[in-house]
Amino acid sequence: MKNEMLAKIGTWFYALVVGFFGVNHFLHAKDMGGMVPSAIPGGVIWVYITGVCLIAAAIAFIIGKFARLAGILLAVLLLVFVFVIHLPNAGSSDPNLQMMGMAGVLKDSGLAGAAMVIAGYSKS
């Protein structure tokens, strides 16, 4: 199988995962609203905005329009999550919060890396 086809299939799988996370933000917005740092006004509205961003990125990757821009913006968004949400949780004194925070750091860092790869290979 050619590299281009493998990259396209990988991008589709990634888009499905990102899209699933986006839909999940709408289905569980109230639960996720508690993860928004209290220093940031708006609360649950940020969960909905994030859901829209994730779904928009997934669509861009699938249709191949604005995929480069979507990959860059998605990577930035995910890295903001790492530094604003997950790293503070990883530094918590609560062992459960530490574990969830570290898992979030690894998950979102990996997803950001993949978004950058997609952005790097995208022509549009």
**How many domains, the chain?**
1
pTM for the structure as a whole: 0.91
Could you tell me the pLDDT band of residue 13, with boundaries at 50, 70 and 90? Answer: very high
Within 10 Å of residue 32's Cβ, how many Cβ atoms? 18
Within 10 Å of residue 45's Cβ, how many Cβ atoms? 12
In this structure, of 4-8, 20-24, 72-76, 103-107, the range with the lowest mean pLDDT score is: 4-8
Residue range of the domain that includes 90 = 3-121
User: Which tokens go with 24?
Assistant: 């999940």
Mean pLDDT of all residues in 13-21:
98
Residue positions counted in the chain: 124
Give residue-wise pLDDT tens across range 99-121.
Answer: 999 999 999 999 999 999 999 99
Quickly list DSSP for 73-93: HHHHHHHHHIIIIIHHHHTSS
